[in-house]
Amino acid sequence: MDAKAIQVPAAFDGSVDPRVVSLVDPNGAAAEQFRLLHLRLDKTRAQRPLAVVALTSAVAGEGKTVTAANLAACAARRGRRVALLDCDLRRPRIAGLFGIDEGPGIAAVLGGRCRLEDAIRIGPERLTIVPAGAAPDDPGSLFSGTAFRAAIERLRGTHDEIYVDLPPALPFADAMAAANEADGVVVVVRNNETRAELVEEAVGILAGAQLIGCVLTGCEEGAAAYRKYYGKR
């Protein structure tokens, strides 16, 4: 999927970050790209269960968090019961994107310091958001225990779709451990920047998980040009 470059709508002044285009500019060309991506996931869903979708990448800054937030927002707008989990305890950004408090979050739940119910916030479009919260020194170990699986299972019971934002796979073991609990893993790749060898290496690390495909970020606005054309007809 070619997610076109995220542009900031000039008029937006709410607490949701303007990069969550699926909420703040749902009729724009970027939101349309996330709708297409969500429809593709639905196609896979028609073939096999795909409630829990985790997003990772080879290296940092490829667009995982923005993609996860938009997919979750898009699904929620389509009437699904959706949860969005910030499992990037290294660089937690989900709370900031939705203008909510960072803690308590999944780190406290997995560390046994908080109940899952107490870490849940309800965001726009009735989106369930579980922020990361303050992380311990060794965040990776939290995802290899049974607590993470238990939290995911609880959310499965009450949600149709669960999106999990992970750290990049190459520098940290967290992604590998957490990805194993997902029904499908999406690898986010920044167009024209991430070297193919790094993506291959990341895919190798994620070998035990259910890889479902890649999302290219930072692409040209090809789709937008077509929309303009159709709009004129």
Ligand X SMILES: Nc1ncnc2c1ncn2[C@@H]1O[C@H](COP(=O)(O)OP(=O)(O)OP(=O)(O)O)[C@@H](O)[C@H]1O
Contacts with Mg ion by CB under 5 A lie at: 64-65, 88, 93
Instruction: Indicate which of ligand X, Mg ion, none lies near residue 56 (CB less than 5 to 8 Å, by partner kind).
Output: none
Instruction: Indicate which of Mg ion, ligand X, none lies near residue 104 (CB less than 5 to 8 Å, by partner kind).
Output: none
Instruction: Indicate which of ligand X, Mg ion, none lies near residue 45 (CB less than 5 to 8 Å, by partner kind).
Output: none
Among 60, 116, 205, 214, binds ligand X (CB under 6 A): 60
Instruction: Indicate which of Mg ion, ligand X, none lies near residue 154 (CB less than 5 to 8 Å, by partner kind).
Output: none
Contacts of 128 (CB under 8 A, 6+ apart): 81, 82, 83, 84, 120, 121, 122, 155, 158, 159
Q: How far is the CB of 129 from Mg ion (least distance, A)?
A: 14
* Contact present, 219 and 4 (Cβ < 8 Å): yes
Choose the stretch contacting ligand X; rule: CB under 6 A; options: 43-51, 64-72, 196-204, 224-232.
Answer: 64-72
Q: Are strands 82-86 and 161-165 parallel, antiparallel or unpaired?
A: parallel
Instruction: Indicate which of Mg ion, ligand X, none lies near residue 17 (CB less than 5 to 8 Å, by partner kind).
Output: none
Among 40, 61, 81, 160, binds ligand X (CB under 6 A): 61
- Regarding 64 and contact with ligand X (CB under 6 A), the answer is yes
The span from the CA of 153 to the CA of 109, in Å, is 14
Sign for the CA dihedral angle at 93, 99, 101, 105 comes to negative
The span from the CA of 209 to the CA of 205, in Å, is 9
Start-end of H helices in the chain: 21-24, 29-47, 64-77, 94-98, 106-110, 116-119, 141-144, 146-158, 174-179, 196-205, 222-232
- Regarding 86 and contact with ligand X (CB under 6 A), the answer is no
SS3 state of residue 11: coil
Closer residue to ligand X (CB): 64 or 159 = 64
Among 20, 22, 31, 62, binds ligand X (CB under 6 A): 62
Q: Which residue has the tokens 């999406």?
A: 186
Footprint of ligand X on 213-232 (CB under 6 A)? 217-218
Sites of contact with ligand X (CB under 6 A):
3, 5-6, 19, 57, 60-66, 88, 91, 93, 168, 217-218
